[in-house]
Amino acid sequence: MADEPSGDGRREEIESAEINKEDITKEETGAGSEPASSSPAEPEVCEAVVAKLEMVADESVPNEPGLAETSAETTTKAEGPELVRAAYEHPLAIRITHWVNAISLFVMITSGLRIFRAFPSFGPKIPEKILLDIPKSLTLGGWLGGALQWHFTFMWFFAASGIFYVLFQIFSGHYRTMLFTPRDISGVWPMARHYFLFGPKPPARGQYNPLQKLAYTSTVAFGALSLLTGMVMYKPTQFSWLAFLFGGYHLTRIWHFAAMCGFLAFIPGHLIMVALHGWANFFSMLSGWKREPEYQE
Amino acid sequence: MITRLEDKELKRKSRRELLKLAPIVALGAFAFPKVSDRLIEEGVRFSDWAAGEMFRSQHLAQTFSNSDVVPFTKFPYNFYDVVDPGVDLAKWTLTVEGDVQHPGEYTLAQIQALPKKVQNTRHICVEGWDVIGSFGGTVISDFFNLIGANTKARFLEVTCVDDYYESIDMASALHPQSLFCYEMYGQPLDRGHGAPLRLQMPTKLGYKQAKYLDTIRITNVLTPGKTGYWEDQGYSWFGGL
């Protein structure tokens, strides 16, 4: 068999092509009962059949029927689309909460600064010591009342997306990708050295490096802190137990401000990193899918 | 978790996942001032509703010892128009209207004849500052008993000599620490702090504590567009703490 040139394989394929020709003819003429040979074939059908026969002839050029399978496989590989490495990094719940949070955080910080402007101090009213003169252009709401309206509207979005995010992370187990644990401590310095001091890049292990985990875990802590202290400032009497935990009403207001400072420390670094890592990385927070991730697992 | 898939497949999946975020675009409505004005008003309305639900009518605000109280000179005078609207204290009476059994004019002496409550509580301004002061007066619910107020009604409306006006939900008005205040630091209320009578409710923000009271009204329906001087400009109506 192996020594035979061309051979049965080719003949069989031509035969099957002829059967196809009959089928096509039947379909085209609509005369199923009549034998194919007796019905005058349409010119186009003839052409089609000829083309098909030529194709069959071409394909059967490799003369070794035993190698036919292997060669066919090689052909598929060469002609088929290339596979792309990709990872589904961000489940829908994470993406939704990320963007709702991004929008609400923007509103909460800008309106919060406007609210702070009404009494930019942590001390007594008399004598009032102005600690910060925040430019109006950085604030939202136009005046204290308007800023409070934004704050009191978006606090619900902020709280709802935050609570939903944390519950999702816990119950889906997805938190393992981002939660900073004691194991990550040793990896923080090499990563920081790489980012800020042009040190060597430590090998990427998971979706996030230890510094990222620290940053993302911190934002969850800032979120929890701003939510809880916000509750105290909104209803200090109803949440008096919580006010007590934060060391009283005055300290709560400072904690609330500190939580915002935490976010303000995170956001520029986060945005710079997003810009540096390019479109595929940014797009993954929109589509969930990251093309060609850096890590190997 | 790395997977390998065709470029076309990755694009298709990405597009589908991207479309699932479409509802978030609805938040873009807030970018249009005409729409956002309405939306943030609704947001405050919702917050006020939630605040009303959160309010515990018998839960007391924190009280302080005399050593925690700031000196009287460091208790700010806050006013929207004039610090002293020139009330004729000798002729002053409180007008009582609305859903009450005994409407009419009440003198300060009649109010002071009721048991006096003195409390050191925190006065919190919407601006963010606060001050612990000493306040004395008649518990509002005691005065409501005197005038035969229908406490099933929903609101207490007040108007002031300086044309300031306010309205308070009944639950907050009936709170055991809510006062018709006529004393501060053991002295009769001075003109700048609202003589002869003001509201003093440690469960409410400062702008709810109307000074120089002139008329009170028990009602189920708030006067439209007159729910409170600052509230009509955008402050939260509930203003609770």
Q: How far is B21 from chain A (nearest CA, A)?
A: 6
Given a cut of 60, whether residue A270 has pLDDT beyond it is: yes
Closest CA to A150 of A116, A115, A118: A115
Which of A63-77, A195-209, B142-156 is least confident?
A: A63-77
Q: Sort out which chain A residues have CB atoms less than 8 A from B13's CB and list them.
A: 287, 289
pLDDT for position B25: 87
**CB distance A73 to A98 below 8 Å:** no
Nearest-Cα residue of chain B relative to residue A289: B14
pLDDT digits 0-9 by tens, A217-232: 999 999 999 999 999 9
Return the pLDDT at A3. 43
- Is B170 within 8 Å of B82 (Cβ atoms)? no
CB pairs under 8 A between A and B: 156
What are the chain B neighbours of A295 within 8 Å (beta carbons)? Answer: 2
What pLDDT is stored for residue A297 in this prediction?
66
What integer is the mean pLDDT of A32-42?
42
Q: Which residue from A minimizes the CA distance to B36? A: A150
A177: closest chain B residue by CA = B1
The shortest C-alpha distance from A268 to chain B (Å) reads 23
Q: Is A280 on the interface with B (CB under 8 A)?
A: no
Q: Which residue of A81, A103, A235 is in closest CB contact with B27? A: A103
Check whether A280 has a pLDDT greater than 50: yes
Contact B27 A157 (CB under 8 A): yes
Tens of pLDDT along B144-180? 999 999 999 999 999 999 999 999 999 999 999 999 9
Question: What is the mean predicted confidence (pLDDT) over A189-206?
Answer: 83
Give Rg (Cα) of chain A.
34
Q: Which of A84, A119, A286 is facing B128, going by the closest CB pair?
A: A119
pLDDT of residue A208 exceeding 80, the answer is: yes
- Mean pLDDT rounded to a whole number for chain A: 77
* Residue of A77, A103, A108, A125 to mutate, interface with B, max B Cβ within 10 Å: A125
pLDDT at A102: 94
Instruction: Flag whether residue A92 sits within 8 Å of chain B, measured between CB atoms.
Output: yes
Cβ distance B17 to A155 less than 8 Å, yes or no, reads no
Cα dihedral A240/B167/B116/B119 (nearest 10):
20
Q: pLDDT-based confidence at A79, cuts 50/70/90?
A: low
Determine the 3-state secondary structure of B32 from DSSP. coil
Q: Report the pLDDT value the prediction gives residue B8, as an integer from 0 to 100.
A: 86
Burial of residue B149 (CB within 10 Å: 0-12, 13-18, 19+) is buried
- Residue B33: both structure tokens together: 């001032």
A289 touches B at CB < 8 Å: yes
Q: Considering chain A, what percentage of its residues have pLDDT values greater than 90?
A: 36
Contacts of B234 in chain A (CB under 8 A): 145-146, 148-149
**pLDDT, averaged in runs of 10, over chain B (241 residues):** 86 88 86 87 93 92 93 88 84 94 94 95 93 95 94 95 93 95 94 92 94 94 90 92 92
Q: Using a CB–CB cutoff of 8 Å, tell me whether A100 touches chain B.
A: yes
Higher pLDDT pick, A186 / A57: A186
CB atoms B42 and A286 under 8 Å: no
- Residues A135-188 have pLDDT tens digits of 888 888 889 999 999 999 999 999 999 999 999 999 998 888 888 888 888 888
Whether residue A65 is predicted with pLDDT greater than 80 in this model: the reply is no
Are B234 and A149 a contacting pair at CB < 8 A? yes
- Average pLDDT on A30-59 reads 42
Angle at A133 between CA A128 and CA A137, to 5 degrees: 140
Closest-approach residue (CA) in chain A for B241: A235
Q: What's the confidence (pLDDT) of residue A8?
A: 44
Q: Are A96 and B24 within 8 A, CB to CB? A: yes
Q: Is the pLDDT of residue A266 over 60?
A: yes
| pLDDT of amino acid B148 | 94
Query: Residue A14 pLDDT > 60, yes or no?
Result: no
Question: In chain A, what residues touch B17 (CB-CB under 8 Å)?
Answer: 92, 95, 286-289
- Say whether A145 and B234 touch across the interface (CB within 8 A): yes
Which residues fall within 8 angstroms of residue B138, CB to CB, at 6 or more apart? Answer: B111, B112, B114, B115, B116, B117, B179, B180, B182
Q: Verify cis geometry, omega within 30 degrees of 0, for the bond prior to A127.
A: yes
DSSP labels, A124-162: -STT--------GGG-SSSSHHHHHHHHHHHHHHHHHHH
Whether ipTM exceeds 0.95: no
Q: Work out the minimum CA distance from A216 to partner chain B, whole angstroms.
A: 20
Do B127 and A144 lie within an 8 Å CB cutoff? yes
What percent of chain A shows pLDDT beyond 70? 72
Highest mean pLDDT among A2-11, A170-179, A279-288, B47-56: B47-56
Amino acid A80: pLDDT: 64
Inter-chain CB proximity B14 and A289 less than 8 Å: yes
| A99 contacts in chain B (CB < 8 Å) | 21, 24
Q: How far is A193 from chain B (nearest CA, A)?
A: 27
